[in-house]
């Protein structure tokens, strides 16, 4: 068998009825495979298919946390840039204008952190049930 990291360059094309496709799609969604092609490859090669019972509420919560993390990353970058700019300021007027901008960024960051705390609290409550 080829190395699993090797590029897959061969294609196998076959046709399905709508009912067959729906059945394969349902079985794929019940598996831990990340892609339909991975699921079909495992079936065709006789590899074991690991099925899971998905906790939809936990999946939704993970999606929300990922979304919040993606919003939080640029805010952290903005904060770093603001601090770098602070070190380059030379006049009182520049400092005052920096302070106003920094305060707005701090409020946004604080709000996002609060959303993350609430999401983590919801996950903890689900987990402890």
State the span(s) of the chain assigned CATH 1.20.58: 56-128
Helix, strand and coil percent figures for the chain, each rounded to 5: 70, 0, 30
- pLDDT value for 83: 83
* CA distances (Å), origin 3, targets 6, 7, 13, 50: 5, 9, 22, 21
- pLDDT value for 32: 83
Question: Could you read off the pLDDT tens digit of each residue along the chain, which spans 129 residues?
Answer: 445 667 888 898 989 999 999 999 999 988 888 899 999 999 999 998 887 666 667 777 777 778 878 887 887 788 888 888 888 888 888 888 888 888 888 888 888 888 888 887 877 777 666
Q: Tell me which CATH code domain 56-128 carries.
A: 1.20.58
Tell me the pTM.
Answer: 0.44
| Number of residues that this document lists for the chain | 129
- pLDDT value for 1: 47
């Amino acid at each position: 068998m080829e190395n699993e990291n090797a590029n897959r360059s061969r294609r196998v094309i076959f046709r399905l009825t709508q009912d067959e496709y729906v059945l394969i799609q349902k079985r794929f969604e019940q598996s831990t495979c990340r892609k339909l092609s991975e699921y079909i490859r495992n079936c065709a090669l006789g590899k074991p298919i690991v099925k899971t019972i998905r906790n939809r509420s936990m999946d939704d919560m993970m999606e929300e946390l990922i979304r919040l993390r993606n919003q939080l990353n640029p805010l952290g970058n903005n904060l770093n840039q603001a601090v770098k700019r602070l070190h380059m300021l030379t006049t009182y007027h520049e400092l005052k204008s920096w302070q106003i901008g920094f305060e707005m960024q701090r409020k946004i960051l604080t709000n996002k952190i609060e959303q993350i705390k609430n999401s983590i609290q919801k996950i903890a409550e689900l987990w402890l049930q």
